[in-house]
Structure 1
Amino acid sequence: MSEFEEKDKASDNSLDIPMIVEDEDITPYLPKFDKPWYKYSHFLKLYFYVFLITITSSNNGFDSSIINVFQSLETWKSSMGSWFSDNTKLGSISNAVVFGTVAAFPFGFISDKWGRKIAIYCGQSILVVGVIIQAAGDSGPVFLVGRLIIGLGMGMALVGSPSLISEIAYPTHRPIATGFYNTCWYLGAVIAAWVTYGTRNISSSASWRVPSGLQAALPLFQLALIWMCPESPRFLVSKGKIEKARKVLRQCHIGDSQDPHNLEFIEFELRQIERAIELEKLSSTTSYMDFLKIPSHRKRLFLTMFTAFVMQFAGNGLVSYYLNKVLDSIGITGETKQLQINGCLMIYNTVISMAAAAFVGGLKRRSVLIFSFSGMLVVFIIWTILSALCAQQGYPKSLSNGVLAMIFFFYAFFNIGLNGLPYVYITEVLPYSHRAKGLNIFQLTQMSVIIFNGYVNPIGLSNSGWKYYIVYVCAIAFELTIIYFFYPETSGYTLEEVAKVFGDGVDQADLSLAKAKAELDHKEHPEQDV
Structure 2
Amino acid sequence: MASSSAPYSFKHVSRLVPKDSRLLMPLLLTVAIVNSATLGYDTSVMNGLLILPSYSQYFHLTPATEGLNNAASWMGSILAGFVMQPIPDYFGRRRAIYVASCITASGIILQAAAQNIPMFVVARMIVGMGTAISNTAAPTLLGELLPPRKRSRVLGLFFSCFFVGSLTSAIVNYGSQNIASTWAWRLPSMLQIIPSALAVGITPFIPESPRWLISRDRNEEALEVLLIMQGQGPNPDVVKGREQLDTIHETISREAKEFSRSPWREMISTKANRRRLLILCTFGPMTEMFGNFIISFYLGKILTQAGITSTKTQTQVQVIINCWSFAIAVCGSFLLDILGRRKQLFIGVGGMTTTLLMIGGLIKRYGSSTDASGIYGTIAVIFLFQGFYAFSITPMTSLYPNEISPFKLRAAGYAVFHILDASFGLLASFTMAFAMADLGWKFYFINAAWDFCFLVLAYFTYVETKGLTLEEIRTRFEGPGGADVVDGIEPDNSSHEIEQETGKTDNAHIKAHEL
TM-score class, shorter? 0.7 to 0.9
Q: How many residues align?
A: 463
Change (3 A) 1:428 1:223: closer
1:407 to 382, 387, 410: 382
Equivalent in 345, 348, 352 of residue 321 of structure 2:
345
Q: Deviation at 1:480?
A: 1.6
Mean Cα displacement is larger for which, 394-403 or 284-293? Answer: 284-293
Which residue in the other structure is 2:11 paired with?
none
CA shift for structure 1 position 362: 3.6
Deviations 1:48-70 (CA, angstroms, capped at 9, x unpaired): 23313541222221122110011
The match for 1:437 is 412
Q: Could you tell me which of 430, 449, 453 is aligned with 2:424?
A: 449
* Deviation for aligned residue 1:225: 3.3
Gap change, CA 1:471 and 1:134, over 3 Å in 2: same
Q: Structure 1: how far apart are the matches of 2:201 and 2:276?
A: 41
Match of 1:55 in 2: 34
The alpha-carbon distance between structure 1 residues 396 and 41, as it changes in their structure 2 partners (threshold 3 A), is farther
Superposed, which structure 2 residues align to 1:231-246 within 5 Å? 231-246=208-223
Say if 2:367 and 2:375, in contact at 8 Å, map to a contact too.
no
Please tell me whether residue 217 in structure 1 is matched to residue 194 in structure 2: yes
Q: How far off is 1:309 after superposition?
A: 2.2
CA contact (8 A) 1:96 1:151 kept: yes
Q: Does 1:277 align with 2:246?
A: no
The question of whether the paired residues in 2 share the 8 Å contact of 1:360 and 1:416 is answered with no
1:479 maps to which residue? 454
Question: Which deviates more, 276-285 or 400-409?
Answer: 276-285
Corresponding residue for 2:304? 328
Q: 1:150 aligns with which of 102, 116, 127?
A: 127
Q: What residue number does 1:298 align with?
A: 274
Q: 1:123 aligns with which of 100, 113, 118?
A: 100
Structure 1 partner of 2:44: 65
Distance in structure 2 (CA, Å) of the matches to 1:59 and 1:450? 18
Q: 1:364 to 1:106 in 2, by over 3 A?
A: closer
Q: Answer whether contact 1:361 1:424 (CA < 8 A) is retained.
A: no
Q: Which residue of 2 aligns with 1:93?
A: 69
Q: Percent identity over the alignment?
A: 26
Per the alignment, residue 54 of structure 2 pairs with 75
Cα separation, 2, equivalents of 1:239 and 1:497: 27
TM-score, length of structure 1 as denominator length: 0.82
Q: Structure 2: which amino acid aligns with 1:299?
A: R
Partner of 1:254: 231
Matched, 1:109 2:86: yes
Deviation at 1:290, TM superposition (A): 4.1
2:15 matched residue in structure 1: none
Q: Distance in 1 between matches of 2:187 and 2:38?
A: 16
CA distance in 2, matches of 1:212, 1:382: 34
Q: What is the identity, as a one-letter code, of the residue corresponding to 1:484?
A: Y
Whole-angstrom distance in 2 between the partners of 1:457 and 1:403: 20
Alpha carbons 1:380, 1:473 under 8 Å: kept = yes
Contact 1:79/1:140 (CA < 8 Å) preserved in 2?
no
Q: Which residue of 1 aligns with 2:351?
A: 375
Q: Report the CA distance between 1:296 and its aligned residue.
A: 3.3
Q: Does 1:176 align with 2:153?
A: yes
Structure 1 residue 329: Cα displacement: 0.4
Q: Write out per-residue CA displacement over residues 328-357 of structure 1, whole angstroms, 9 at most, x where no aligned residue.
A: 101111111111100111111111111111
Note the alpha carbon deviations across 1:307-334, whole angstroms, 9 max, x for none.
2222111111111111111111011111
Structure 1: tracts of 5 or more residues without a match = 1-27, 30-39, 506-530
Q: Cα 1:490–1:226, aligned 2, differ >3 Å: closer, same or farther? A: closer
Matched residue, 1:207: 184
Q: CA deviation at 1:286?
A: 4.1
Q: In 2, are the aligned partners of 1:61 and 1:189 still within 8 Å (CA)?
A: yes
Q: Which residue of 2 aligns with 1:35?
A: none
RMSD: 2.4
Matched, 1:133 2:110: yes
1:53–1:226: 8 Å Cα contact kept in structure 2? no
> CA separation in 2, counterparts of 1:468 and 1:348?
25
Using the size of structure 2 for normalisation, the TM-score is: 0.84
The answer to whether the 8 Å contact 1:59/1:188 transfers is yes
Q: Does 1:166 align with 2:152?
A: no
> Does 2:201 align with 1:230?
no
The one-letter code sitting in structure 2 at the alignment partner of 1:296 is A
Give distance in 1, aligned partners of 2:240 and 2:310. Answer: 60
Q: Post-superposition shift, 1:431?
A: 4.0
Name the CA shift for 1:49/1:486 in 2 (closer, same or farther; >3 Å). Answer: closer
Kept after mapping to 2: 8 A contact 1:296/1:502: yes
The amino acid that maps onto 1:364 is G
Cα distance in 1 between the residues matched to 2:139 and 2:261: 24
Deviation at 1:216, TM superposition (A): 0.2
Equivalent residue of 2:441, what SS? helix
